[in-house]
Structure 1
Amino acid sequence: MDKIEKLKLDKTNELFAEAKSLIPGGVLGIRRPYNFVEGEFPVFFDEGKGSHVKDVDGNEYIDYLCAYGPIIIGYREEEIDQAVINQIQDKGFCFSLTQKYQNELARKINELVPCAEMSLFVTTGSDATSTAIRLARSYTGKTKILRCGYHGWHDWCVEVKGGVPEKLYEDVQGFPYNDLESLELMLKGNGDDTAAVIITPLGHPLADDISEPEPGYLEGVKELARKYGAVLIFDEIRTGFRVSLGGAQKYYGVTPDLAVFGKAMANGYPIGCVTGKAEIMKEGEKNVFISSTFFPNSLSYVAALKTIEVMERDNILGQIWEKGEWFISRVRELCDKYGTGAQISGIPPMMFITFKKDPDKIYKEKRTDFYTQLIRRGIFLQPYHHGYICARHSQEDLEKTIQAIEEAMQYLVEKYGK
């Protein structure tokens, strides 16, 4: 195979060196270089359009990370951006009082999401999950939380505990996905003090394979939550407006008490949503304080309304499922053909290429080499986070990506053998 050269990243490296003197770590959290392949991936993007992005050195990529999930249609969608521009120019968006668009968006959520009776809007997914937990504790009068999934960076659930006193998360316990027995043991152990069970309805653990719910699993979780008097919360930050317009709860046919949404809801504009049973949501009237200077800003409401309009009108999710099914099937064929230990998991709108673990941990080297080969070929996928299909991924994009994946697997065979 012809050797493919490392990308020219002079400007990104220069900016990153400067950033480290200005910002802790240069860039925050999951965007730091060690979460990719250091020295091979860019650190700074310059622009994006449709399914493509360019870095500050002018390298262009087909992007499958989609801004970690918010880009459901494509970058710089003119119809959505124009609705926002019109709002800025014609009406404004930051006021002492709320504009009407919150009502319009809440009505739309009620139409689409099975559990939705009342909704409230925040700015981020972490805002949404933390609000849902506060509502559940207030409604039940209980303390303990059982969790399965990511849920954000706030004190009660953040994975890295630096700066967080133990007292702020000592009543929060994690349970494994697709394991009803473990969940019931924890519920029993808590007696009558579990306020909420919060779970991602599709299992997408950090840096690991995506798992669909086994038959009866989500139904079992719901029954156990009811049995022990806990509020069932579906964390649909990633699955909402991507698996279906009604979320994974509609796709899998299991309705929770509360659900949280974000990411794809507004095609890149910052928004989070908590929705669910009115009797629980009404805790936010007086008993639970929920307020922010920027929660009522209407630009994200307008973007969400236009995004949902376009998704309904143009059958965006139907397009994404069709493209994703083709893509996953082709990648699976390549995994079987080359026998490198690569495997693909997930569902058509969101998938993850990982490597089977081995005792000598060669899989880590293969993973680094594989994703290095992809980025050098202009394919932006992340080695520790699943990817997404957006509406603007063209057939040409998909075919070019499959070719790059095949060449990366050929490289692995040459280097490591089968």
Structure 2
Amino acid sequence: MKQMPKLNLEKSMALYEEAKKLSPGGLLGIRRPYNFIDGEYPVFIERGYDGHIVDVDGNDYIDMLCAYGPIILGYHEPEINDAVKAQMDKGFCFTMVQEVQNELEKKLIDLIPCAEKVVLAKTGSDVTTMAVRIARGYTDRNLVLRCGYHGWHDWCVEGHGGVPQKTLDMTKEFEYGDLESLETLLKEHDGDVACIIVTPVGHPLAKPVVAPPEGYLEGVRALADKYDVVLVFDEIRTGFRVSMGGAQERYGVTPDLAVFGKAMANGYPISACVGKAEIMDVLESKVFVSSTFFPNSLEMVAALKCIEILERENVIDDIYKKGERFLVECERLIKKYDVPATVSGIPPMPYITFDKCVDYKERRTRFFTETIRRGLFIQPYHHGYIAYRHTDADIDASLKAIEEALEIVAAEYPEK
């Protein structure tokens, strides 16, 4: 199998050089080129359609990152956009709220097992931080036990500057799937822990994505009850993707609070903190949260229409079928070419990681270089997503790109 030629990214790279003069790093965080294969991936995107993106140089890709998860349907959804445009004619940013707020909140309460009351916001970091503040206000305790990525705010960022050590000390991390590590922290800090916040489907950075081990979420629930702490599920990624009611519905474990975002509105910026009324009601009595833009209605309209389509078209069932085939075929191809890599994740959120052995970084670089050159947009350090508009032909083309990339890796690095 021959290597594919490097893509023409001339305009994208020129815009990137300009961007670095205008903004620190040119763009923020995980979108910087060194988080991909520097020089091989586009930086600027022109447009999207169905399950594809097109960069400013005209290269067309099957996108299995889906904007890091918000795109659950496709990149151009006229039904959602038309509903949003109709709302624009009424206005969407007011001192007070619009009726659609109640409509959306009632829908979320109907769908999500733990939802008795709802607060709407804009981003995942907004609502994970809101949930922590609610839990602290409800319990009158400060310590947070976390597992997973929960955003960029001070309470949950580690290894980065600008955060006071005293703030970092109020959050302790435990290992996903390990109930013993969690209980050790609960015992050590008994009486000081406000909440446990966990991603129901594990996704540690650059490691295999992990479905909940049997009994794990039930065990976390039991420990939260035993030590009388608030249990928060971070469903930013899993909400409206693994089930309409989130991972808590699919796996049958109900938290006290939960946060949703990403796929909820197919790319429009909205998130929700939901939970038991008794706990949520501290927002009325003792905990302050407010924002100029949280009540904006365009995103609420988009979310309602997106949820309508998800239910009407049985979207999640469709995504699971495509994802199951994708995972099975990826497993088969890795075995066929005897490449030291691991296929992980759940059907809506697949991932290929390279096992840590001799030359694994070189193998990884070669693999993702060849997949992007073949028009498959996936990333070395983040799991992928399946979208509703990914066709069977898209899945076939993605698997073909993966097979050809694996064949090259196997030929260039024959020894494990």
The equivalent residue for 2:372 is 375
Amino acid at match of 2:193: T
- The aligned length equals 415
Q: CA deviation at 1:246?
A: 0.5
1:303-314 → structure 2 map (5 Å cutoff): 303-314=302-313
List alignment gaps of at least 5 residues for structure 1: none
Structure 1 SS opposite 2:132 = helix
The equivalent residue for 2:389 is 392
The equivalent residue for 1:87 is 87
> Equivalents in 2 of 1:150, 1:4: separation in Å?
35
Structure 1 SS opposite 2:133 = helix
What whole-Å deviation, never above 9, does each CA across 1:143-170 have from its counterpart, x for those lacking one?
A: 1110001000000001342111111221
CA contact (8 A) 2:132 2:195 kept: yes
1:145-294 → structure 2 map (5 Å cutoff): 145-294=144-293
Amino acid at match of 2:161: G
Change (3 A) 1:294 1:160: farther
The equivalent residue for 1:406 is 403
Structure 2 SS opposite 1:53 = strand
Structure 2 SS opposite 1:204 = coil
Q: CA deviation at 1:3?
A: 3.1
Q: CA deviation at 1:102?
A: 1.1
Amino acid at match of 1:347: I
Give the share of equivalent positions with the same residue, in percent. Answer: 59
> Equivalents in 2 of 1:168, 1:240: separation in Å?
29
Q: CA deviation at 1:205?
A: 1.1
List alignment gaps of at least 5 residues for structure 2: none
> Equivalents in 2 of 1:380, 1:159: separation in Å?
28
Q: CA deviation at 1:215?
A: 1.2
> Equivalents in 2 of 1:59, 1:180: separation in Å?
46
CA contact (8 A) 1:238 1:262 kept: yes
Q: CA deviation at 1:171?
A: 1.1
Amino acid at match of 2:248: Q
| TM-score, length-scaled by structure 1 | 0.98
> Equivalents in 2 of 1:81, 1:323: separation in Å?
26
Amino acid at match of 1:299: L
> Equivalents in 1 of 2:386, 2:242: separation in Å?
11
The equivalent residue for 2:136 is 137
Structure 2 SS opposite 1:21 = helix
> Equivalents in 1 of 2:43, 2:275: separation in Å?
39
What whole-Å deviation, never above 9, does each CA across 1:333-389 have from its counterpart, x for those lacking one?
A: 00111111122101110011111111x3x1111111000000000000011000000
- Pick which of 157-166 and 46-55 moved more: 157-166
Structure 2 SS opposite 1:388 = coil
1:47-66 → structure 2 map (5 Å cutoff): 47-66=47-66
- Pick which of 2-11 and 255-264 moved more: 2-11
CA contact (8 A) 1:344 1:354 kept: yes
The equivalent residue for 1:72 is 72
> Equivalents in 2 of 1:31, 1:234: separation in Å?
26
> Equivalents in 2 of 1:408, 1:151: separation in Å?
33
CA contact (8 A) 2:120 2:294 kept: yes
Alignment RMSD (CA, Å): 0.8
Amino acid at match of 1:214: P
CA contact (8 A) 1:153 1:159 kept: no
CA contact (8 A) 1:266 1:300 kept: yes
CA contact (8 A) 2:131 2:259 kept: yes
CA contact (8 A) 2:233 2:258 kept: yes
The equivalent residue for 2:34 is 34
What whole-Å deviation, never above 9, does each CA across 1:292-345 have from its counterpart, x for those lacking one?
A: 000000011000000000000010101100111111111110011111112210
> Equivalents in 1 of 2:64, 2:324: separation in Å?
15
| TM-score, length-scaled by structure 2 | 0.99
